Amino acid sequence: MEINWITLIGLVAATFTTIAFVPQAIKTIRTRNTRDLSLAMYIILSTGVILWLIYGIFINDLPVILANAITSVFIISILILKIKYK
Amino acid sequence: MEINWITLIGLVAATFTTIAFVPQAIKTIRTRNTRDLSLAMYIILSTGVILWLIYGIFINDLPVILANAITSVFIISILILKIKYK
């Protein structure tokens, strides 16, 4: 089986931008400090990721659906913590 | 000219996830407080967005190139501020 290395770059990119929010979510859950986080950022980002998810469902693209479904869990968690502990 | 509303959802999604980092960058430039920001998040996210940009150049996709070129400026700015004012 031949691996297309351009596709591989795309998959690694998608993995990185998906898991990036995990350390922020862990940090915020642990410290409960959200002062330096921008509420506007997490509202706009949550909306954007949900729109990406809807777009992925419409174009029936599994990587777009998966990446944004997972990312939305982390981003919405951080948004809820920001609203709760601001 | 007919507008494809599925493409429109994708474009709005891309715009939202691109501009989301602007309020965080402005907040961090103004306050210089970065304690609650996760360094790991911004390192992983910067790497991911640069990989998306490289991927976009290889597949020659202008929306992917543009969205990630713009996003990388904001995210790398926040990363530099996080390193500088930690």
Is there a contact between B12 and B57 (Cβ–Cβ < 8 Å)? no
Taking alpha carbons only, the member of B24, B18, B22 closest to residue B37 is B24
Lowest mean pLDDT among A62-66, B41-45, B66-70: A62-66
Confidence at residue A65, expressed as pLDDT on a 0 to 100 scale:
92
For residue A12, give how far its alpha carbon lies from the nearest alpha carbon of chain B (Å): 7
Cβ of B36 within 8 Å of Cβ of A16? The answer is: no
Here the tokens at position A38 are: 């921008």
Taking alpha carbons only, the member of B52, B63, B37 closest to residue A18 is B52
Confidence at residue B63, expressed as pLDDT on a 0 to 100 scale:
86
Is there a contact between B16 and A44 (Cβ–Cβ < 8 Å)? yes
Residues in B touching A33 (Cβ below 8 Å): 35-36
Cβ of B51 within 8 Å of Cβ of A27? The answer is: no
Here the tokens at position A85 are: 């502990």
What pLDDT digit, counting tens, does each position of B25-39 carry?
Answer: 999 999 999 999 999
Domain around A50? 5-84
Taking alpha carbons only, the member of A57, A59, A79 closest to residue A68 is A57
Q: Residue B20 is part of a domain; what is its CATH number?
A: 1.20.1280.290
Confidence at residue A86, expressed as pLDDT on a 0 to 100 scale:
74
Is there a contact between B53 and A18 (Cβ–Cβ < 8 Å)? no
Confidence at residue A80, expressed as pLDDT on a 0 to 100 scale:
97
Per-residue pLDDT of chain A (86 residues; tens, 9 = 90+): 556 999 899 999 999 999 999 999 999 999 999 999 999 999 999 999 999 999 999 999 888 899 999 999 999 999 999 999 97
**B2, pLDDT greater than 80:** no
**Number of structural domains found in chain A:** 1
Confidence of residue B86 (pLDDT cuts 50, 70, 90): confident
Cβ of A34 within 8 Å of Cβ of B36? The answer is: yes
More confident residue, B4 or A45: A45
Q: Taking the mean position of all CA atoms in its chain, how far away is CA A58?
A: 19
